[in-house]
Amino acid sequence: MAFTDLRSFIEHLDKLGQLKRITAPVDPILEISAIADRVSKSPAAGGHASPATDPYHGSAGGHALLFENVNGSDIPCAINVFGSYERMRQCLGVSDFETLAERVQALVKPEMPTTLMAKMKKLPELAKLAGIGPKVGKSGICQQVVKTDDANLFDLPIIQCWPRDGECGYAGRPADAEKGTGRYITLAGIYTKNPDNGERNVGMYRVQVMGEKRAAMHWHMHHDGAAHFRRYKARGESKMPLAIVLGGEPVLPYAATCPLPPDVSELLFAGFLNGKGIELAPCKTIPMEVPANAEIVIEGWVDTNETIWEGPFGDHTGFYSLADKYPLFEVTAITHRRDPIYLTTIVGLPPQEDYYLGKATERVFLPLLKTLIPDIIDYHLPMFGAFHNFVFVKIAKHYPMQARKVMSSIWGAGQMMFSKFIVVVDEDVDVHDEQQVMFHIGANVDPRRDMMIVDGPLDILDHASPYYGSGSKVGIDATKKIEGEGTVRGFPDLLNMSPEVEALVSKRWDEYGL
């Protein structure tokens, strides 16, 4: 089921019993975040399974929340909308992630038709793909209300997530820095364009509110938005157009977080997920197009010559990320529907809403990773790894040092380069059973022989690294060792009961009275 906008998705979740509406007055400063944090760590409606016991169909994550009475704003605030496996499946319109992974596999590695009849049969598929690109119209319902001179970020129920967010004199932010606020836009698509060829990019970067029309645009040096910024600056242009988009088709936030290949547009991928192209509308004050069905759009310019202090910020790592200087964003317009919904999220110690977005990406993009690294059978990003700290990988081992080759390939695969610990196991190990993986590390690894330490890029949020954005990474070969992998004594067989006896015991189990 494809959803045309955020509100239709929220209504759908309401009918499924996945939404809680809160009518009591709440404060956007910390109170909404504290509620969402507690809910995200509780069971969802009607279930008590957890990701540890049921990796993709567990009911952890709590309800989606819609706060209808937010202090200081007339606009309701939605949070934890994507915060469970079930809601992610509903958003993507699938009963299981594997179905979507198969569609991605066909898109990434299509089978070429070999006969005229096969080519004729392919035509409908090709025509369908041709229709999933974005389509630009004249206007959109995201512009039913247009504010320019009277645009004010404080009209929106922008939340503060954690107590020391944006605090001066803490985590590297000078005590005399521009104070701003601790309020952050956290679940918006950030729309930029490559000034050389006009190609659009949709990223998801946090934005710290500094004043009514001022904000700090936080993006990492590796992000496409930052690359576009550098291009504008290199061209000698003092301003870069940028739009902050909240809402729209619910697949948009997901597409904005996906590790897509450089030549694949997030809007194209969103159209692929939704089964039809995303409708766009020209912005009112900047040369940019944004989703016509969005709830709220903040238009403005990034100053390529001025930076301001941003942070600290309570991040998905579970710690405050350090403050640093980032580009200044100045608002020129805020447009929205007549009755908009403000979409937001909180990140912190997992599980949080971002964990489920990331887990869907892990499953859906397995075919892409297998295309880049065919040795991989499956992989798992454990919750405690906060996305980049741990990767468990399963391979079918055929030759010496194959596990090390796979580790090196992963460190060369897009955002997987940030992986700090990679553990490689044999094909008979369930990488989603974390106890089983740890058992094989303990059983199969000689630390000196089977671990390698390399230097390279790291997530800039990694406070343990000795340098900003770089440091060391560890690969652990927990596979059964074979000749050619150093000094190897005979590896014993893992204990397994015979299938015949297992079948007999299962058949007679009730007789035992156990």
At 337, which amino acid appears?
R
User: What pLDDT sits at residue 231?
Assistant: 97
Query: What value does the mean pLDDT take over residues 155-170?
Result: 98
pLDDT at 197 exceeding the cut of 70: yes
Q: Which structure tokens are listed for 141?
A: 């319902």
**Superfamily of segment(s) 373-477:** UbiD C-terminal domain-like (3.40.1670.10)
pLDDT at 125 exceeding the cut of 90: no
Sequence-distant (6+) residues with CB within 8 A of 467 are none
**DSSP SS3 for 60:** strand
Using 50, 70 and 90 to split pLDDT, how confident is the model at 299?
very high
User: What pLDDT sits at residue 43?
Assistant: 79
Query: What value does the mean pLDDT take over residues 231-260?
Result: 95
Q: Which residue has the tokens 């605030």?
A: 77
Give the Å distances, CA to CA, from 436 to 268, 432, 443.
Answer: 39, 8, 10
Model confidence over 453-464: pLDDT tens digits? 999 999 888 999
**DSSP SS3 for 280:** strand
DSSP string of 390-429, one letter each residue: EEEEEE---STTHHHHHHHHHTTSGGGGG-SEEEEEETTS
Q: At what angle do helices 353-364 and 97-108 cross, to 10 degrees?
A: 50
How far is the C-alpha of 357 from the C-alpha of 387, rounded, in Å? 11
User: What pLDDT sits at residue 88?
Assistant: 95
Beta strands 77-79; 342-343: pairing state: parallel
Closest listed residue to residue 347, CA positions, set 315, 303, 309: 315
Using 50, 70 and 90 to split pLDDT, how confident is the model at 102?
confident
Q: Which structure tokens are listed for 368?
A: 């892409």
Alpha carbons within 13 angstroms on the beta-carbon side of residue 13 total 33
Element (H, E) at 254: helix 251-257
Contact 353, 383 (CB under 8 A): no
pLDDT at 264 exceeding the cut of 90: no
**DSSP SS3 for 165:** coil
Query: What value does the mean pLDDT take over residues 113-117?
Result: 55
Sign of the Cα torsion 409, 412, 413, 417 reads: positive
Model confidence over 271-284: pLDDT tens digits? 989 989 999 999 99
User: What pLDDT sits at residue 300?
Assistant: 98
Sequence-distant (6+) residues with CB within 8 A of 473 are 411, 419, 420, 421, 422, 453, 454, 455, 456, 458
- Topology of domain 133-343, CATH: Pnp Oxidase; Chain A (2.30.110)
Element (H, E) at 110: none
Residue ranges per domain, the chain? 133-343, 373-477
- Percent of the chain past pLDDT 70, that is, above it, reads 92
Sign of the Cα torsion 402, 362, 457, 238 reads: positive
Q: Which residue has the higher pLDDT, 123 or 496?
A: 496
Q: Which structure tokens are listed for 329?
A: 């964003």
Residue 385, Ramachandran bin (φ over 0: left; ψ between -120 and 50: alpha; else beta): alpha
Using 50, 70 and 90 to split pLDDT, how confident is the model at 50?
very low
Active centre residues (catalytic): 315
